């Protein structure tokens, strides 16, 4: 079983997968709308990133609900990769373009 910090978990989790904190009580699922709480008082709400989440360790797993996202996952992964590539190209263009400084 792999353990992830919150940031690592956000990078590794796939659409429909479930992530569980080390305490076993807090669970979240990545949905097309975003990361949503599965358990606790915030169940069915999107996760608000707060400091206490950053110190937790998380595991990622599949369950029976994850299977219904299997068809959407390929399209979601393609869009995610496209977004990351666009960010890379924008950063590269900013780095390589000469600054527009008037003399």
Q: What pLDDT, on a 0 to 100 scale, did the predictor assign at position 82?
A: 94
Q: Is 59 exposed, middle or buried (CB count within 10 Å of its CB: 0-12, 13-18, 19+)?
A: middle
pLDDT of 103 above 70: no
Residues 6+ apart with CB under 8 A from 14: 30, 73, 76, 77
In this predicted structure, the answer to whether residue 32 has a pLDDT above a threshold of 70 is yes
Q: In what order do the strands lie in the sheet with 18-21?
A: 34-37, 27-31, 18-21, 58-61
Helix runs in the chain, H state only = 6-12, 51-54, 70-96
Residue pair 40/29 in contact by the 8 Å Cβ criterion: no
This prediction's pTM: 0.75
Can you give the pLDDT at residue 21? Answer: 93
Q: What is the pLDDT of residues 58-101, one digit of tens each?
A: 999 988 888 888 889 989 999 989 998 999 989 888 888 876 76
Q: In degrees rounded to 5, what are phi and psi of residue 5?
A: -70, 170
Q: What is the pLDDT of residue 95?
A: 84
Tokens 């989790």, located at residue? 13
Q: Residues 18-29: pLDDT tens digits? A: 999 998 899 999
């Amino acid at each position: 079983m792999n353990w992830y910090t919150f940031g690592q978990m956000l990078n590794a989790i796939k659409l429909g997968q479930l992530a569980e904190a080390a305490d076993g009580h807090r669970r979240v699922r990545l949905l097309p709308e975003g990361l949503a709480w599965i358990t606790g008082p915030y169940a069915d709400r999107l996760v608000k990133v707060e400091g206490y989440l950053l110190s937790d360790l998380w595991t990622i797993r599949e369950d029976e609900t994850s299977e219904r996202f299997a068809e959407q996952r390929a399209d979601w992964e393609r869009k995610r990769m496209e977004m990351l590539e666009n960010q890379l190209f924008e950063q590269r263009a900013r780095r390589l373009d000469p600054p527009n400084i008037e003399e």
